[in-house]
Chain A
Amino acid sequence: MSFFNEENEEIAKEIVGRYPVARSALIPLLHLAQEQEGWVTKPAMEQIAELTGTTSVEVLGTGTFYEMFKFHPVGRYLIKVCTNISCQLLGADELFEHVKKVFDIEEGSTTEDGLFTFEEAECVAACTEAPCFTVNYRYFHRATKELFDEVVIDLKAGESPLSKGRADDEGAMPEHGTLSRVRQQIPKSRCAGIKPPEEIKGPPNWIEEGV
């Protein structure tokens, strides 16, 4: 059974080809599945297992270790508010309460219109720019309640709030599941050649062994 659409199936095969061992592509393929569907479905795990030479249980086993993978539908925009120490010192708890009030939902749940899921984040490496929240993993630095309100208004209106994030980021806001809006493409003509480890016996040709 096929889960990936034609385009993504090609991409998935290309991703698998970048690794000496297919299983290494497991996490990137879970991301790809999430990009297509917004969350990780059972058929997705079955096809990922096929592509990586594993079983769907192994895919589930790996996937559930990582908090970014969702095994149930989530909102189009995943809003995460960091409450770790650097952000907490500068008002993250107040921001967190504000977000809860605006959406009128508990942490970890989704608004009725299916637009927003709201979660607490662990340190997102923006500590000098605290407090910080992210929308689909795009950063909003030095956040205030007002900034958050503006972002929600933009998202509801279908506009991108990225340029307001003070995070050097701009352009369109992707839907949940899409991380990088571009993909690495290794041109066939330039690829040095990726082989399974057991096929490489000696040192590469620019190394003189024993020297």
Chain B
Amino acid sequence: MSESSLQSGYVEHAPGFVENKGPKLITSRFKHTDSFTLEKYLSTGGYEGLRSALDRSPNQVHDEVREASLLGRGGAGFPAGIKWGFPPEGVWPRYLVVNGDESEIGTYKDRLLMERDPHQLIEGVLIACYALGLSQAFLYVRGEMALAQERIAIALDEAYEAGYIGKNVLDTKFSVDVVMHWGAGAYIVGEETALIESLEGKRGMPRLKPPYFPAAIGLYGKPTIVNNVETLSNLPWILNNGASAYKGFGSESSPGTRMFAISGHVKRPGVYEVEHGVTTFRELFYGDNFCRGIRDDNELKMFIPGGGSAPWFFQEQLDLPLEASAVGAAGSMLGSGAMVVMDETTDAVKACLSIVRFFARESCGKCSPCREGTSWEEKILQRILDGDGRPSDIDLLLDIGDNISPGPYPAASFPDEGLDAVPFPPRQTTICPLGPSSVAPIVSAIRRFRNEFDALITRRDPIPLSLGVEEVFT
């Protein structure tokens, strides 16, 4: 591949992954070209965490994970050890569903973990199954990720063959089957109850709540633990090194590391494993160890801190730590660890439409505020961009948003206008957070860049005089 066909300003590197300084708990093998093979996995400490788990009682393993305060990496950030405690006593069988349906806008980490280190994920799955007495695990891989499916299928075969999965794992009483399942293209299936519906062979629509947790009533009506790929990939390290070593990284409330995908207008976009809770956005975007600044040394206009569903941040928020509670109080979320950086050349209305259109297309159609609302949001934004906007359109957009997510919507502070931050999360009139997510870019963009909307609307072409009106009067 010749250098010239690369986009200018990019540094050639392995897809997604950039080698940099800092602790590597889950991406330590990414630098190897054969990171996905069993041979490489075993020669770099693979399946030692499982052995260590099998030497202890299931409860001891659960305690270790609870003690590590491992936070879920799917978006909500719920502690995994606590979620694991939810299945009601005496109800069997119990299942594990691995959420590998990564499709939130800007998110790119689970695909890397599945493609580049499938055995690490499988080892995490086995540790969870052992600790919780789970009968069977389903590894739900997003349909579009063909290479990830290949790597996982091969890794599962290798692991069965080598005695890590199946009957009497490593000659113990522990027996479990792990099955790869794959989807067929629907963002909403990333929602855990929709994921379960899909795995049951149905349309992937979120279930009515309560029950709030599939850990009580999940797959086939049985207790089901749904964990994200990145969450489970942390387990081998935790079992090998212990909860206290894990808590040596990151902050007290957000221990360990997280994978962040930083895309958009930065000089060195990539997926970075970052110490949780201590690094700041500024360090990530401008630091030499990470993205090295904005392209062409432009000014930062806005950034999305946690996937397309997250309200936007601006220059004022750059010094916030990458820590869930701090980001939440400032009006957004770290969500799925997806950051999209936009420089001064970005059209705020166009960016807003792009994100809203995604939610409009991906709405499953179960709740009317979302089904109708998202599609109207898209149409109105489109007509504003086309130069056909009406002066009332801005209020109309906010009103539709208010129907999906009533009350003040989470937003960053805007000191110039004297606006305070509205903390996360938003309220919702829908079963799942998809609809409310579509309001995030709208409120963010209108609050901050109302002038851009106004400019597009007032630029609306006047009624053409070429109707021959002049001739009639002359």
Contact = CB atoms under 8 A, between A and B. Distances in A.
Contacts of B150: 180-182
Nearest to B115: A168
If over half of A's interface residues share one DSSP class (helix, strand or loop), that class is named, otherwise mixed; here it is loop
Contacts of B167: 189-193
B230 interface: no
Nearest to B176: A192
Interface stretch (B7-15, B322-330, B371-379): B7-15
A90 B346 CA distance: 11
B305 interface: no
Interface in B142-196: 142-147, 149-150, 152-154, 156-157, 160-161, 163, 165-167, 172-177, 179-187
Interface stretch (B77-85, B354-362, B418-426, B461-469): B354-362
A137 B145 contact: yes
Given A89-B342, A130-B263, A207-B58, A184 B153 contact: yes
A206 B174 contact: yes
B351 interface: yes
Contacts of A197: 93, 220-222
A191 B168 CA distance: 10
Contact of B201 (A26, A31, A182): A26
Contacts of A130: 263-264, 269
A167 B340 contact: no
Contacts of B269: 127-130
Nearest to A84: B105
Interface residues of A, number: 83
A123 B340 contact: no
Residue of A21, A63, A206 most packed against chain B (CB within 10 A) = A206
Interface residues of B, number: 97
A167 B90 CA distance: 47
A204 B112 CA distance: 33
A77 to B, nearest CB: 13
Interface string B5-46: 111001000111000000000000000000000000000000
Contact of B143 (A68, A144, A166): A68
B92 A202 contact: yes
B264 A89 contact: yes
A188 B28 CA distance: 34
Contacts of B6: 142, 144
12 contacts: A18-B177, A23-B200, A28-B181, A31-B182, A52-B201, A68-B144, A85-B340, A122-B187, A184-B152, A201-B92, A204-B175, A206-B172
Given A85-B354, A197-B93, 6 more contacts: A84-B358, A89-B340, A128-B263, A142-B6, A142-B10, A168-B116
Interface of B: 1, 5-7, 10, 14-16, 57-59, 89-90, 92-93, 102-108, 110-111, 115-116, 130, 133, 135-136, 142-147, 149-150, 152-154, 156-157, 160-161, 163, 165-167, 172-177, 179-187, 198-205, 220-222, 261-265, 269-271, 304, 308, 338, 340, 342, 346, 350-351, 354-355, 358, 361-362, 364
